[in-house]
Structure 1
Amino acid sequence: MTAGDFEHQNEARWAEYERLVGLMEKGKRSPEAEQLPRLFREVSLDLSLAESRMYGTRITERLNALVIRGYELIYRTRRGSWENVISFVSVRFPQAVRKEWRLFWLCNAVFWLPFFAMMLSAHHDIRWVQAVLGADGMASMEQMYGGKEEQLSHLRSEYGSNFMMFCFYIYNNVAIDFRIFAGGMAAGLGTLFFLLFNGLSIGASAGYVNHACNPASFWSFVAGHSSFELLGMVVSGMAGMRLGLAILQPGRLPRVRALVEASKQAMPLIYGAALMTTMAAVIEGFWSAQGIPYEWKYTVGIIGWIGHIAYFSLAGRRHAHAA
């Protein structure tokens, strides 16, 4: 095929692509906009063919300019679209959690069973809790949750401002979630270990507060952000276990390829966990530590847990049925 034949054969498609790009560059909406990605791929292929067959600079420069305009338009639209964010939060994230329902219940069991076992053991034998917390941990819990005034004064002296509390909590929460997620690279054992460890340590803290401190001070503080923080750990564990299973059971794929595919499946989970962790830090820094009546804090906490149960159970189902 000569350069002239190549240009004549594809001229109509190039003109349609250029017209559509021009409309979208001017901010005009077109019902044909959904065709742009397909046309972009076709023009990119034409450019590759023109270069490999050496059809001349006139054709290649024209096609190169069209490809650049289309790429910038598609990239700018995807990067700046809030619709993608809304779609992720309302549809793709809860769907991803439900899709991995087996991992969801596994990670919940690994975290919550030791949590409740350790918390309830304080009523029967406090030595288990003491062994987990150690002397420094028990002293810290007494200083923090000895009473409402002790809690507020400790927080003010420790962090100085709500913003600094937010910074500390998001650093701490992200570090925990990252360890849980990254532990999946050890064939999932690291993820299971960190979930178990956090369940034991948090349960021991709750049990010791109920035994030796002011329980209302503790539960009112953690109520508001607990659903975001603890479920965020569980979702991070799901993402880590997805990586671990790819290493243990790659199927017919090479392990590296299986790990890459598992990473793609885990991305919605880790993005969602990061969002939940950020929300937990916001609530923890700007709400939980304030001198607000306990009843209000408990109410917000209950709403948070009910909201998360409804969200993960129902959000995105209508879109799934439509698909």
Structure 2
Amino acid sequence: MREVYFIKQNKEKWLGIEQVIQGKIKKNPDDLSSLYINLINDLSFAQTYYPKSNTTVYLNHLSSQIFQKIYKTKRVEENRLIYFFKTEVPLLVYQYRRYLLYAFLFFILFTSIGVLSAIYDKDFVNIILGESYVNETIENIKNDNAVGVYQSGSTWGSTIGIIFNNIKVGAKLYIYGVAGGVGTLFALLSNSVMLGSFQYFFYDYGALKDSARGIWLHGVFEIFAMVVEAMCGLILGASILFPKTFSRFNSFKKGFKDSFKIFLSTVPFTICAGIIEGYVTRHALKMPLALNLVIILGSLAIIGFYYFVYPSIVHKKTNKHIDDAIL
């Protein structure tokens, strides 16, 4: 069969499947499975007779999308919350992985600006952090207690306040993305410059090691989550600026839905960061250095794996299921 005729014969069906994937047409799990099997047959035919054609690429992409749609709608015994974190979010992170890269590049750039600003302007840290905070921290450093600022207040009271504050900061990083991503970048700039100048401040007073032992106990989860939240804001902004084949409104709806799911995935890490900061960081200089390193490196391994490595594993596993179905 000539490819042109093959396309003409199945075009309406494929467009209908696109509508289902986009949520414009509702189908139950059984109907979705039938559509998937039908589409796999078309893909198998195209791979046999038009292996290097754009039609084959298109059908492969369509098959992958409807397979994920089935995963999301089929009746499974698996807990919905487990599925959300185990499969749905990793697939979205993989799909939008370049935005995570962009967010990290901006974070590194903005943090470097904070460091350089603190190096060349000795009053910069006072402006960014506030004189009272800086003076208190200097006194703590003189008393060999660089993390003294984390020891004030009750553990549970500090924890609750920290968690709510960090969620508020993360929400701003995300929601400000509606301004085409510019608001997100501004919020990321503000927080990253603060971090960079803060760390150089400790270095300047010879307390970088002690500060790092405390700050990064909770900082790994907190800062990494902040970058992921910035990623979500960039996705939101891009959905408005670059709608591609969607209408701008539909692109925004899709961008908001996808980015919000990724944003929600940061909340457990933000809560963990708050608990660590409220209960553990205050004891940072009393605990063995090895324990500090275990917590810091362990936290980095967990969150780094979840957002950098695991999405690729889930994506490959999903594609393998598709390949097995074709074969």
- Give the letter for the 2:241 counterpart: L
What pairs up with 1:1-323 in 2 under 5 angstroms?
A: 38=30, 83-119=79-115, 122-123=118-119, 126-143=122-139, 145-147=141-143, 149=145, 151-152=147-148, 154-156=149-151, 158-160=152-154, 162-212=155-205, 214-290=207-283, 291-316=286-311, 317=313, 319-323=317-321
SS in 2 for 1:251: coil
Letter in 2 for 1:310: F
What's the CA shift for 1:272?
Answer: 1.0
- How far the C-alpha of 1:243 sits from its partner, in A, is 1.3
What's the secondary structure of 1:289's corresponding residue? helix
Secondary structure of the corresponding residue to residue 299 of structure 2: helix
Q: Are the aligned partners of 2:146 and 2:210 in contact in 1 as well (CA < 8 Å)?
A: no
How far off its partner does 1:292 sit? 2.0
Taking structure 1 as reference, are residues 299 and 278 closer, same or farther at Cα in structure 2, changes over 3 Å only?
same
TM-score calculated relative to the size of structure 2: 0.66
Tell me the distance in 1 between the aligned counterparts of 2:168 and 2:139: 24
Q: Secondary structure at the match of 1:159?
A: coil
Which residue type is aligned with residue 228 of structure 2?
V
Q: Does the C-alpha gap of structure 1 residues 141 and 296 become closer, same or farther in structure 2, counting only changes over 3 Å?
A: same
Write the distance in 2 (CA, Å) between the matches of 1:217 and 1:182: 35
- Distance apart, 1:194 and its partner CA: 0.5
The Cα shift of 1:130 comes to 4.3
Counterpart AA for 1:170: I
Tell me the residue number matched to 2:67.
none
- Residues 1:216 and 1:320: Cα distance change in structure 2 (over 3 Å): same
In the TM superposition, residue 164 of structure 1 has moved relative to its aligned partner by 1.3
Instruction: Describe the shift of the 1:113–1:141 C-alpha distance in structure 2 as closer, same or farther (beyond 3 A).
Output: farther
- Which whole-Å CA distance do the structure 1 matches of 2:282 and 2:100 have between them? 30
CA contact (8 A) 1:222 1:288 kept: yes
Q: Secondary structure at the match of 2:280?
A: helix
Instruction: Give the conservation status (yes or no) of the 8 Å contact 2:229–2:266.
Output: yes
Alignment partners' CA distance in 2, 1:125 and 1:163: 37
Contact 1:184 / 1:240 at 8 angstroms: preserved in 2? yes
Partner deviation per Cα, 1:39-89 (whole Å, 9 max, x = no partner): 9xxxxxxxxxxxxxxxxxxxxxxxxxxxxxxxxxxxxx98xx763323333
Does structure 2 retain, via aligned residues, the 8 Å contact 1:185–1:244? Answer: yes
2:264 and 2:181 map into 1 onto residues whose CA distance is 19
In 1: Cα distance, 2:106 partner to 2:287 partner: 33
- Aligned-partner Cα distance in 2 for 1:116–1:108: 12
Of all paired residues, the percent bearing the same amino acid is 21
In structure 1, the partner of 2:18 is none
Change (3 A) 1:248 1:140: farther
Q: Indicate conservation of the 8 Å contact 2:150/2:278, yes or no.
A: no
Alignment length, in residue pairs? Answer: 248
Structure 1's unaligned 5+ residue stretches are 1-35, 40-76
Q: Measure the CA separation in 2 of the matches of 1:146 and 1:264.
A: 49
Matched residue type, 1:272:
S
Which of the pair has more CA radius of gyration? Answer: 1
Contact 2:215 2:281 in 1 (8 A): yes
